[in-house]
Structure 1
Amino acid sequence: MVRRFPLPARMLALAAVLALAACDDAGTAPTSYVQVVSGGAWVAVAEPQGMARADTWLPWLAEDGAAAAQARQLREAAGRARGAGRIEESLALEDDALRLVAGSLARAPDPLRVLVPLAALDSWTDRARERLATGRYPELEAAAMGVSAEAAAARGAMVAGDTTVAVLHIARGTILAREHSALGVGVRLLASIEERLGKPGAGESANVRRARRLLAGAREGLATGDTVRALRRAVYALQLLEEEGFGVPAPGND
């Protein structure tokens, strides 16, 4: 059973500020991206440093327990899937591993292992709101509200001394934020374009052949972590397809 150690709200706020400073990478790269194509916008928010992963809390599981073994298996499977270019599968496995670890703590993690990923959620929400101030993006707005709510619930749980509940909220907020990261958006964009290319009538014009090559490069970029370049290649492929008279509907961001 995980013991409860209530943390005064004032101390939590100070610790969160210090944790946020530790995971802040603003100023070194764009914090969000928007590409307007096919009459709509594909919007992605860069993940701040310090976002939770299964490894964040894996040391606080029972070492010889089934959950720890399963989490390691999920991580290894995710790595194999990513190496093979199966990015969607890799992301799903990583999310499964994070949920499993967050729900299987045998003891309370070190405070920074909770405060840093919590501060990262706040940083992600700030980045999303900065982008929302420049235009109307309903999907991103809903995600920002959801991530903010999970972060607030995590802080409340920590004030009450319930670390296990705080970790669960942080995990849920992290998974939601990742759906709107450059990687998450890139995966959905690629899947949409590939689906369109697989339908009858796509043909094999010069533009279509070039779009296929760009998509292959974009998928490789997502697999190796070059997400920004991958997004650019995918958008360029989409622009080529638009020239051929068929595009891909953007998410509900208009």
Structure 2
Amino acid sequence: MPNPLRSRLLLALAPLLALAACQDGPTGPGSYVQFAGGTEWVAVAEPVGMARADTWLRYAAPGSPARDGVRGLHAAAGRARAAGRVEEALAMEDQALLLAAGSVSRAPDPRRVLEPLAALDAWTDRARERMEHGRYPALDSAAVSVAARADSARAALSARDTSAAVLLIARGTVAARGQGPMAVGLRLLASAEARLAAGGAGQNGARARRLLAGAREGLAGGDSIRALRRAVYALQLLDAPPAAGLVDSAPAPR
């Protein structure tokens, strides 16, 4: 027997589906590339409209354990971020998003589905544009994954399976964030910290430590671009000979 809620949602979505591949509202450069520590680090910025746990939590059933679960994860993520444990905070935020998406029990407002779906398409476009200028295997893998989930979400919407579409969008969002400035900044930071821990930093070690402390502070405060630049410069310092005379700045992401 047809589900009237799903039928109404599909009718409402019909005029909007064509927009899902072209909506975008970038707030800054679409992607960033830096070379440091023998590695080219590439990140793709999140377009406006990417899904959050709050996007769908309101559509969970009243009294659903997911409501308390998401709130608990958000609170724990906030504490972790305040303590500088940004890796833990990001992981918990991803868990909250997936939990909220899996708890949807009634048809969301159409734009609550189409906007984050369009954001996945915009993110994929940014990634592909960056890959036109270089070879980035990790980014290529992420772009394939994000695009596949977006396509599957559209197929689920066409089949009137809104719950499946929402969960696919959430999974695509998590995959995209894995190549975002925050996640890439954390990997870059971990690489630089490992280099310092291994020793051999020489007279540049103290400056590198200060830069890495500032980078972690930037990540905790959400300033991922500042964090990327400081972590890159720290790695460059660790690679440089003592008399290199590097200035205290890093090249802007290109």
TM-score normalised by structure 1 residue count: 0.88
* Structural RMSD (CA): 2.0
Secondary structure of the residue aligned to 1:11 is: coil
Q: Secondary structure at the match of 1:34?
A: strand
1:99 aligned to 2:102? no
Q: Which shifted more, 212-221 or 5-14?
A: 5-14
Distance in structure 2 (CA, Å) of the matches to 1:29 and 1:163: 32
What is the identity, as a one-letter code, of the residue corresponding to 1:25? G
TM superposition shift of 1:3: 4.5
Q: Secondary structure at the match of 1:134?
A: coil
The Cα shift of 1:191 comes to 1.3
Aligned equivalent of 1:154: 153
Aligned length: 238
Contact 1:2 1:105 in 2 (8 A): no
**1:18-60 deviations in Å (ceiling 9; x for gaps):** xx54xx233x521100001233210000000110111111111
Aligned-residue offset at 1:224: 0.9
| Aligned equivalent of 1:4 | 6
Q: Deviations over 1:75-97 (max 9, x none)?
A: 11111111111100000000111
Question: Which of structures 1 and 2 has the larger relative contact order (alpha carbons within 8 angstroms, sep 6+)?
Answer: 1
Partner of 2:237: 240
Residue identity (%): 60
Q: Deviations over 1:134-171 (max 9, x none)?
A: 01111101110110000000011111111100011101
Matched with 1:229 is 226
In 2: Cα distance, 1:15 partner to 1:163 partner: 18
Distance 1:210 1:240 in 2: 8
CA drift of 1:244 comes to 5.2
Q: Check conservation: 1:2, 1:106, Cα contact below 8 A.
A: no
- Asked if the contact 1:12–1:159 (Cα under 8 Å) also holds between the matched residues in 2, the reply is no
Counterpart residue type for residue 117 of structure 1 = P
Alignment of 1:1-254 (within 5 A): 3-5=5-7, 7=10, 11-16=15-20, 20-21=22-23, 24-26=24-26, 28-199=27-198, 201-202=199-200, 205-243=202-240
d(CA) in 1 for partners of 2:19, 2:136: 32
- The amino acid that maps onto 2:219 is L
Query: Does the 8 Å CA contact 1:218/1:233 hold for their aligned counterparts?
Result: yes
Cα gap change, 1:104/1:10 in structure 2, threshold over 3 Å: closer, same or farther? Answer: closer
Whole-Å separation in 1 of the counterparts to 2:151 and 2:209: 43
How big is the shift at 1:4? 2.6
Does the residue aligned with 1:49 lie in a helix, a strand or coil?
coil
List runs of 5+ in structure 1 lacking aligned partners: 246-254
Give the TM-score normalised by the residue count of structure 2: 0.88
